[in-house]
Structure 1
Amino acid sequence: MIHIKQTNFFKVSSTRIREGQSENINKSNCYTYLIYVATGGGYIVKDGQQLSIVEGKSYIITKECMIMSTSANLLTVYTISWEKDWNDLAFLQSIPLADQQSSKLVPLWDEALRIQKKDISFTEICKLQSVIWSILSFLTDHTEVDGIEETKKIIRNHLSNPYSITKLADKAKMNPASFTRAFKKRVGMSPKEYLIEERIKSAKLLMLQTKGITTKDVSMKVGIQDEFYFSRLFKQKVGVPPSVFMKRSKERIAVVSQIFLQDHLLSLGIQPVAAPSYPTIYPSSNGLPSYLEKQLEGTVLLNAENMFQPEEILNTQPDHIIKTPLHNGEIQSVILSHQQRVRNISLKTQWNEYLREIASLLGQENKVDRIEKEIATLELKVRDEICPFTRKGKWAVIWIRGNEIRLYGWRDHACLDLIYQKLGFEAHPDIPTVGYQIVTVKELVDLNADKLLILWSHEKDVSRVVKIKEWKMIRAVENRQVYYPNSFEWDPWGPIGRKNMLINFASSLQNSKLMS
């Protein structure tokens, strides 16, 4: 008698993830997963590290991880999994897997899924394994695109004396014309354009982190012998000449905070030499909201999810350290030994209180009124735009997290102040005044809010909560007045973040009804 379960080594699955959302893989840590990206792009996050994933590539995963989409279109991922102690495929972990176009592989993946759904029989298992081995044969048959990632590393590591296109093509085992086409298809730009982009990034880092460096020195270090050509190129790409860019960090400032105070500094025309980041919250943009990523090229990013390392801060040679109280109350002894450099800022309830205090510390008070006026004008414009949408009904704002639901108050928080005070949402009378309360779905039913706004919540957490029986009894749910915008980057504590949120607010909100 054939033991079917022992014959079926593999499990095939697929998932589609929308932009900003994520999916956990291999929660039990008992399996090895081969992941193939059919459409879109994003990141794999595991052990606090992030790995970029792109269409057409495959990845081997042996631990629990999270896949996050950064694609405007759906991120479509197919997986094959097998028990970790099965050693016949262990070699896949030590070899590069070939890039393959989705048009070639997706029909095979879909065929495997179709067979797997049938009643298990020995014949069907043979068919399934035949399809899976065909997929594996394609992924271990290296194609011309496999050398692109290696050539990217070569370009980054040889900025001062880059390889020629011919040599890069040789490394990728391709002719120059085919290599250039493949590189552009994979990276989105030609090898020459990629070299320029990497030189500009390196130049920014040198300008911010090397005290007293000259434009000529920077130009030579990034491999451009003509200082004047470098200056023209830098201005073309960055918008200002190198001399102006370097003035942004003339007064060297490090930010030691769990708040993005670099937002305020940038709005004042100052780029910090060090600033906080959250790599697991914003894995696709170097630990920053995407609207800050480009503006902070060259800044040393400090991991605010862990305890700050004083030597990492002081290595940037700051003239001043702007510091807020940290959540765990730690006092950094090394920073205290440089107390004359530390500018302590208390926690605020209004976004512009931070702006005014930082501007005062740095002698930039003359810029504050203009920034506040620009934001106020935009707030009024958005308020008028959404007035027909918000004038009826009382609102509640919630954040659905892994193990709790937070019901937020209506003031003393930059985002909630913006929603209720500036944009005209009418707060339900029974929500908290400040802070938040942990509530159950039953308590949301009792609250009886007309409209519900879900912020900052992962799709898997929302999906879990809407399956709770009482969810459908919430008044806002019954009336189809639940809104779930993509709000992961809604952080209006600084002028740039506030402006970014306002620009996208009306369209994001009006197109975000949650149908449950």
Structure 2
Amino acid sequence: MSDYVLCYVAEGSGEITVNAKKHVLEAGKLIMLTPAMHVDELVFHAGPVHIYRLQYARTGALGAVTSTGRDEEVALHTEQPHPAEQWTGAEVFPVSSAVSFAAKLEELFRLGQEAEEDCVSYLRAQALFCDLLATACEEQKARQQGGDTSVAATIDYMKKHFREALDLGALPKLAGLTPSSYCRAFKRAVGMTPGEYLTQLRMDEAKAMLCESSSANRVKDVARSVGFSDELYFSRLFKKREGLSPQIYMKQAGQRVAVASKLFLQDHFLAIGIQPIAAPSFPNYFSTRTGFPIYLQQRLRGTKALNAEQSITPQDILSLSPDVIVQIDTGAEKEQRQWAKLGEAVIFNGYLKWYEYQLQLATVFNKESQAERVIHHVDKVEKQAKDALLPVTRKGHWTIVRVLEDEVRLYGTEGHALTDLFYYKLGFQPDPRVTHASYKPDALLTLLELDPERIILFWSEKEHVERLWHNPLWRSLRAVREKQVYYPETRDWDPWGPLGREYMIHNCMSYFLKAIPSI
């Protein structure tokens, strides 16, 4: 190595040998290399691989961040001392906030492509680079100091060995904790007991295998592959968790479902065990390679991305030979006619609540029991988050605002999935003077009249927010003057589906409970 290199494995598995020492690679792991280290061997297992490589120099020299499968390179500079100079070997360890870390790498790649011609993008790329490097060093330092990382080490161990006859009783010793302390720390880290987590790992792998090929994967073979020696016990446990036997699940998973709606119904399908063969994407909005949000990127591996920023037509889908095409009635008569005449099309009306979509889809695909479990799980996550957020939500009143290029939207207290989650499920107190439904467009003057105590900005681009910050009317607001405007990264926050809703809740908790300063 001639430069410093940070690699993040987003997908795939394998081994890397550095200075004669072998390390296991898998999704979610970070590799930190310093100059003069020698990579002896890099081997990947069968299947797709996606790795981010962030290459940089300590003083003045150009570096490059690349992503496998792309030709572009992004130049970076750093003149700060590197905290890893004392390391004698490669550092390979899991990142605790893997989804957030990958999202930042995608954003860095996007900014870097613009950096040569745009000074603002260059500076933002530099700031994001420093943030990523600081996160990596914090993770590495935490591992050296122990603490919660001892539990993380056992989680990593379970991910590697769940297919084997794993002895859960040995995990506390591996973590250096008493059994009772370990169980408490484990449940605090992942929200379930070690036994429940092991079962989830095995069941997730089993469902993936059952979906891949009904002819190649017999139930007995799948059970043994994921760590169950007793096929009958595996089948009983699978039916208890999923609501149907492995044989029926395998048969239903073989349905070729395409989502033609611009709504992210793929979220609902994935939650009940159906991976669509095609689904809408927004490549100019989301920073991922596919245009899917970051929390669906890996789950939708193999799903064709349909550019929903343009009109999705039957021709985009029919070549895939779908069994079912799912569409939402948009009210556009001409558009609906082209779908209605297709025998494979199933057209739904629009609904106000996320779980109404979930229940309707489940009814059509005979997945009612799975949908009920999904709804119950999300309800549990919402209640736990509400309790955890009490130190934040019990103080003051909140107003939700979205800043667009040419308007400021003021969200109401009902009639929208965002406000339902933020106010009623998570417990943030709305400004009592805000009583309208959905949102009001062009609402800057209304905001001036309200002069709210606290403002949270959702789905607002940085350039639009920065432009608004120069407006003297905006700067006159009490929340702005008292630095009570909160601006989390909400691009991938989606309250309309179960997976997006859970992702949004965890990120919302992380943002507020870490007491990130307001802007």
TM-score (norm 2): 0.55
Contact 1:482 1:513 survives alignment (8 Å): no
Contact 2:329 2:336 survives alignment (8 Å): no
Contact 1:38 1:55 survives alignment (8 Å): yes
CA distance in 1, matches of 2:67, 2:472: 33
Q: How far is the alpha carbon of 1:251 from its aligned partner?
A: 1.6
1:445 aligns with 2:444: no
DSSP-derived class of the 2:335 partner: coil
Q: How far is the alpha carbon of 1:330 from its aligned partner?
A: 4.1
Match of 1:284 among 282, 288, 293: 288
Partner of 2:305: 301
DSSP-derived class of the 1:323 partner: strand
Q: How far is the alpha carbon of 1:272 from its aligned partner?
A: 1.0
Greater relative contact order (Cα < 8 A, sep 6+): 1
CA distance in 2, matches of 1:258, 1:476: 35
CA distance in 1, matches of 2:255, 2:431: 46
For residue 297 of structure 1, what is the amino acid of its counterpart? R
CA distance in 1, matches of 2:264, 2:115: 37
Q: How far is the alpha carbon of 1:431 from its aligned partner?
A: 2.5
1:507 aligns with 2:513: no
1:71 aligns with 2:71: no
CA distance in 2, matches of 1:312, 1:481: 47
Structure 1 residues 6-38: Cα deviation after superposition (integer angstroms, max 9, x where no partner): xxxxxxxxxxxxxxxxxxxxxxxxxxxxxx985
CA distance in 2, matches of 1:386, 1:344: 39
Match of 2:339 among 331, 335, 338: 335
DSSP-derived class of the 1:356 partner: helix
For residue 417 of structure 1, what is the amino acid of its counterpart? D
CA distance in 2, matches of 1:512, 1:244: 47
Aligned residue runs from structure 1 range 74-93, under 5 A = 77=112
1:325 to 1:37, Cα distance in 2 relative to 1, 3 A: farther
Cα RMSD of the aligned pairs, angstroms, is 3.9
Q: How far is the alpha carbon of 1:336 from its aligned partner?
A: 3.0
Partner of 2:329: 325
For residue 287 of structure 1, what is the amino acid of its counterpart? G
Partner of 1:466: 469
Aligned residue runs from structure 1 range 74-473, under 5 A = 77=112, 215=216, 249-326=253-330, 330-331=334-335, 333-338=337-342, 340-473=343-476
Contact 1:484 1:513 survives alignment (8 Å): no
1:325 to 1:385, Cα distance in 2 relative to 1, 3 A: same
**Structure 1 stretches of 5 or more lacking a match?**
1-35, 44-49, 59-67, 83-101, 103-203, 217-227, 234-239
Percent identical pairs in the alignment equals: 30
Partner of 2:151: none
DSSP-derived class of the 1:284 partner: coil
Q: How far is the alpha carbon of 1:479 from its aligned partner?
A: 2.4
Q: Which has the larger radius of gyration?
A: 1
Q: How far is the alpha carbon of 1:246 from its aligned partner?
A: 7.0
Match of 1:477 among 477, 480, 492: 480
Structure 1 residues 435-468: Cα deviation after superposition (integer angstroms, max 9, x where no partner): 2112354432211211101011111111111111
Q: How far is the alpha carbon of 1:388 from its aligned partner?
A: 1.4
Structure 1 residues 99-132: Cα deviation after superposition (integer angstroms, max 9, x where no partner): xxx9xxxxxxxxxxxxxxxxxxxxxxxxxxxxxx
Contact 1:249 1:272 survives alignment (8 Å): no
1:51 to 1:407, Cα distance in 2 relative to 1, 3 A: farther
Structure 1 residues 473-507: Cα deviation after superposition (integer angstroms, max 9, x where no partner): 21212222111001111102111111111122111
1:412 to 1:285, Cα distance in 2 relative to 1, 3 A: farther
Structure 1 residues 76-109: Cα deviation after superposition (integer angstroms, max 9, x where no partner): 7596669xxxxxxxxxxxxxxxxxxx9xxxxxxx
Structure 1 residues 299-338: Cα deviation after superposition (integer angstroms, max 9, x where no partner): 1221111111211211121222211023755425553332
DSSP-derived class of the 1:295 partner: coil
Q: How far is the alpha carbon of 1:512 from its aligned partner?
A: 7.2
Q: May I ask how many residue pairs the two structures share in their alignment?
A: 322
For residue 456 of structure 2, what is the amino acid of its counterpart? L
CA distance in 1, matches of 2:376, 2:346: 27
Q: How far is the alpha carbon of 1:287 from its aligned partner?
A: 0.9
1:320 to 1:452, Cα distance in 2 relative to 1, 3 A: same
DSSP-derived class of the 1:500 partner: helix
Q: How far is the alpha carbon of 1:433 from its aligned partner?
A: 2.6
